[in-house]
Amino acid sequence: MTSTLVQRTGGLSADIDGDRLLRRIARLGRIGLDPETGGITREGFSAADCEARAYLMDEARDAGLLPTVDAAGNIIIRPRHTAYGDGRQVLMMGSHLDTVVNAGRLDGAYGVLAALEVVQAFEEGGIDSPYEPVAVAFANEEGALFPQPFWGSMAMAGRLAGLPREPRDHQGRRLRDALRRAGGDLDALGSAGWPHGSVAAYLELHVEQGPVLERSGSRIGVVDAITGRTVLTLEVRGAAGHSGTSPMKGRRDAMAAAARVVLAAEHIAGERALCRVATVGRIDPHPNTPNTIAGSVRMTVDLRDTDVWRAATAEETLRRMLDAIAASTGTEIEVVAETRSDPVSTSEVLRAAIERSADELGLPHEVLPSGAGHDAQMVADIAPIGMIFVPSLGGISHVPEEDTAPADLVAGARVLLRTALRTIGIGSEDRPDAPHTPHTPHTHSAPHIERHTTGS
């Protein structure tokens, strides 16, 4: 089933090949697959993630495109004939290949493969674009193994201050080594940054991961805001001991304290409604044996809201509750790491382009915020962003059952292509104001282009 979208552009045409897109999604969905659960596990920079990265780069090469890897491990796919850049601003599209543990096959992967499909369609259609079309697979968006979510997009946005100098995973293994294996270079991380103005627009296509579109019957979601997110990593320290011989009085039980932290997080978002959601998703007790009182617990608290002040108030309230829990359980509770991403709004120009594209394709659409975080909110530092959602069946994600109707997957890619063409002023009678300054040969700092031709 090759979609019949043909975008007439001066006799040239750009098509989305729906079959090819669905085939790639199915193939990628076998990498990191657990046949028992049907879930996919490709934590950032894990062996499965590297296998998925290799698959994407092979597909890009087979499509006649040129994939390179930047120092942060981001995969940058650009047309071969402009691989060395020619001064144009870039029209960037992408998402991430890495997943959470026991995930679905679409979160991130769909957006990367749709971006590849659009760049390939530009090439096959001979589209002469004033902006260079580029597809990106951002590294370690989820932060499932190395707990630095948005790693690659933060590096691209130049947010190095927000990243640890020597990142490690929960077992203390160095990111430096895994990053090198993936083609990156921690010591050259700064070279992954893109100067402000080099990216004319960034578009991300993603499954909604929630119930809104399915419930309303909309086929396309036009994202207006992406939630802010704070992830605190806590170290709860008490005293280990024999579970049989240690009297209840006087224990300094880190697990009992951690249990109170879980309920406190639920309390501030639930009864108190101080922020939209709060979740303890990870809890690592030590020594984690049935007949030993836990001496320490490492755990994460994930707080979210689209209002930065509500999120700050919720965090402050939680921190006060942590002090009270530590006092009442005789433990110490330390915040050992924190990552923050502010809520961001998408570009009105790109929202309008997405809506027009959906209208032209006869796809009912609605505007909605994103409760999930996305690389787009980091790229927003350096470029106007647009996000397109397609419905998630049952409104679920981060589970093996995550799914979207194939027709919606293809429709979303068609909207991405049409929005990309509209953004560069091709194939549409009414070109929106260019999201950035109109195309003038951009005096690209040559090093910027060379920077992205390193690596495989």
Among 108, 125, 210, 221, binds Mn ion (CB under 5 A): 108
Among 107, 185, 204, 315, binds Mn ion (CB under 5 A): 107
- 434 three-state secondary structure: coil
Give 44 or 79: the residue with its C-beta nearer to ligand HGY.
Answer: 44
Give 122 or 146: the residue with its C-beta nearer to ligand HGY.
Answer: 146
Residue 132 structure tokens: 């260079």
Element (H, E) at 230: strand 228-237
Report which of 98, 91, 69 is spatially closest to residue 135, judged by C-alpha positions. Answer: 91
405 binds ligand HGY (CB under 6 A): no
Shortest approach of Mn ion to residue 204 CB, angstroms? Answer: 9
Stretch in the footprint of ligand HGY (CB under 6 A) among 141-149, 254-262, 271-279, 359-367: 141-149
Which of Mn ion, ligand HGY, none does 373 bind, CB closer than 5 to 8 A by kind? ligand HGY
Shortest approach of ligand HGY to residue 141 CB, angstroms? Answer: 6
Residue 379 structure tokens: 């790229």
Among 142, 204, 253, 315, binds ligand HGY (CB under 6 A): 142
What backbone phi and psi angles, to 5 degrees, belong to 335? -85, 105
- 374 three-state secondary structure: coil
DSSP 378-420: HHTTTS-EEEEEEPPGGG--SSTT----HHHHHHHHHHHHHHH
Which of Mn ion, ligand HGY, none does 427 bind, CB closer than 5 to 8 A by kind? none
238 binds Mn ion (CB under 5 A): no
Give 308 or 446: the residue with its C-beta nearer to ligand HGY.
Answer: 308
Give 68 or 306: the residue with its C-beta nearer to ligand HGY.
Answer: 306
Q: Is 343 left (phi over 0), alpha (psi -120 to 50) or beta?
A: beta
Interior angle at CA 175, CA 172 and CA 179, nearest 5: 155
Footprint of ligand HGY on residues 341-380 (CB under 6 A)? 372-373
> CA-to-CA distance for 225 and 213, rounded, in angstroms?
16
Residue 101 structure tokens: 């543990």
Shortest approach of ligand HGY to residue 225 CB, angstroms? Answer: 13
Which of ligand HGY, Mn ion, none does 117 bind, CB closer than 5 to 8 A by kind? none
141 binds ligand HGY (CB under 6 A): yes
- CA 404 to chain centroid, in Å, comes to 18
Give 43 or 141: the residue with its C-beta nearer to ligand HGY.
Answer: 141
> CA-to-CA distance for 110 and 207, rounded, in angstroms?
8
> CA-to-CA distance for 64 and 81, rounded, in angstroms?
9
Give 339 or 357: the residue with its C-beta nearer to ligand HGY.
Answer: 339
> CA-to-CA distance for 255 and 287, rounded, in angstroms?
11
Shortest approach of ligand HGY to residue 397 CB, angstroms? Answer: 7
Residues that bind ligand HGY (CB under 6 A): 141-142, 149, 372-373
What is the contact surface with Mn ion in residues (CB under 5 A)? 107-108
